[in-house]
Structure 1
Amino acid sequence: MSAFFTQKQSELVPAPHARGPWSPDMLHGRLLGGLAARAIERRYAQPGLHLARLTVDLFRSSPMVPVTVETSLIRSGRRILVADAIISTDQGPIGRAGAVLLRQGEQPDGAQTFVTPAWDSPPPDGPPPVDGPTTWTPPFDLWRVTEWGKPGSGRAWLRESYQLVDDEPLTPLVRAALAADFASPLSNVSTGGRLGFINADYTLTLARLPAGELIGVETTGHLSADGVATGQVTMHDTAGPFGFCVVTAVANPLGFGGR
């Protein structure tokens, strides 16, 4: 299957399946986080330096046009590296990301007073279910562990089914960055299945990188007031939890997909 983007000189040209759920001519915001993670990892990754935080600002909707990603080094110290990425089209910037990479070292002695437990949702053992006719089909494999739009914590397993750029293998970091955007619909869905808020950003924090292709997302919080919301999820793989994602979101009038 073709990738979401094809590299043509400095531009990344989106394929038709790179569109989002809001409009057939709107690029999916989750891909901006994946492109930012890819660019920062390719430019600044080094042995022993772990990308521990990625904040992706989704401040402008983009049509399905070529994009560019430019990175800049903010700080390179002995134990920390901070870098930014700007995602743009010929109409200007459409998103940005900030990353913190931390130097790995010896684990401190002593047990923590609280550690997030592993969830009790086994990984799927078959192909994802096929939903009925919809206006938009997710371009990734999705297994809903809990029923969509029902009260309580939501859970889902995800697996990417397309490469991000050309035939490049997806790295664990890029997989995590793509899956993290699902924190918004999972934490912000209303009873009945309507998405009452659309996210303006997300922040992914990683104690370690995910292992394997499957990533689980579990709602662990939602708060909202006066049309502004924040939600959080725990990120899992088949070995256990590996990180968190927090989103901020704004009230989503029916049928509106812009920011």
Structure 2
Amino acid sequence: MDLPRACYLPDGDDGYVATALTIGPWDPGLQHAGPPAALLARAVERTGGIPDGQAVRLAYDVLGPVPVGPVRVTARVLRPGRRIELVEAALEAGGRTAMRLTAWRMRTRDSAATATPPQPFAVGPEEARSAAFDVFSEEVAYHRALEWRAAAGSLTTTGPAAAWTRPLCELVEGEPMTPLEHLLVMTDAASGISTEIDWSQATFANVDLVVALFRQPAGDWLGMDAVTTLGPGGAGQCAADLHDRRGRIGRSVASLFVEPREEPTPRRTGLDGARPRS
């Protein structure tokens, strides 16, 4: 199977064209929020004024669907500082702002003497099961951007789940995907692997995503241990612990807008042979 080399192709100074690797699960014409979240994080890291600073909180607002096609990313420093800064980035598509990110970045220093000991995940990527996060209508879509391994639960059935991933492509053509970019490509899928409702019966798109980190991700393999909780009024929340090989690096939380499908879609069988269950 021929796959695009990257999620995005450069198009001018601040423009990009999304490839099929950004296609999301709800509509083949719309992007999964993971790749644009990573594109915004890339802009924040390049715009920040603290050399070798680290992002400690990335707060995304999803203002509308992001079409698969041309996008434009801009960024600026809202609150400059030598030790702490606040950076904002925005993604425009179709003449409107579709996603926005505000990120706190901090100066780094050696504090290993007082650091909390690492908390490794119980199942490493080598012990995890090869799996497919395959709930997409298109053969080439977001799920092909990463290699997926299930560490707990299943990526195609309901309930809490944990997964390891590593990049199978670049974020922007010609650039290796950084661990922070990889983390954002992956983390928006936490509600997908831990869904509590059948994909064929309802949609549960997130309107935001907050990633809080006490240590920067490192290495090729990153993981998430996710739980989704559904409320009684049509809202849900997904929370996940985020890991690299050394241990936990932070947490994410997302607010979900849950809505029944007007016409339930046919059930699709995942590549690992499991069927979603309600």
TM-score, with normalisation over the residues of structure 1? 0.85
**Residues 37-80 of structure 1: CA distance to partner in whole angstroms, max 9, x if unpaired?**
01111121643421111111112112222000011211012421
Q: Counterpart of 1:141? A: 147
SS at structure 2 position matched to 1:175: helix
1:97 aligns with 2:104: no
Match of 1:76 among 77, 80, 104: 80
- Contact 1:141–1:161 under 8 Å retained in 2: yes
Unaligned runs of 5+ in 2: 264-278
Deviations 1:205-244 (A, max 9, x none): 1111212111111025635230111221001111111111
Q: Which secondary structure does the structure 2 equivalent of 1:249 belong to?
A: strand
Which residue number corresponds to residue 124 of structure 1? 126
Q: State the TM-score, normalized to the length of structure 2.
A: 0.80
C-alpha contact 1:5 1:166 (8 A) present in aligned 2: yes
Q: Is the 8 A contact 1:149 1:192 kept in 2?
A: no
SS at match of 2:261: coil
Q: RMSD of the alignment, in Å?
A: 2.9
How far apart are residue 122 of structure 1 and its match? 1.9
Structure 1 pair 20–110 and aligned structure 2 pair: CA distance change class (3 A): closer
Residues 195 and 101 from structure 1, CA distance in 2 versus in 1: closer, same or farther, beyond 3 angstroms?
farther
- 1:236 equivalent to 2:253? Answer no
Percent of counterpart pairs with the same letter? 25
* Structure 1 residue 125 displacement after superposition: 6.0
Unaligned runs of 5+ in 1: none
- The number of aligned residues is 253
- CA deviation after TM superposition for structure 1 residue 105, in Å: 3.3
Instruction: Tell whether the 8 Å contact from 1:189 to 1:196 is kept in structure 2 after alignment.
Output: no
Seen in structure 2, the aligned counterparts of structure 1 residues 207 and 255 have a Cα distance that, compared at 3 Å, is farther
Is the 1:68–1:89 contact (alpha carbons within 8 Å) kept by the matching residues of 2?
A: yes
Distance in 1 (CA, whole Å) between partners of 2:227 and 2:240 is 5
1:41 aligned counterpart, secondary structure: helix
Task: Name the structure 2 match of 1:35.
Answer: 39
CA distance in 1, matches of 2:21, 2:138: 10
Which digits, 9 at most, give the CA deviation of each residue in 1:70-120, with x for residues without a partner?
1121101242100111100233111111100012235397686xx884321
What's 1:204 paired with? 211
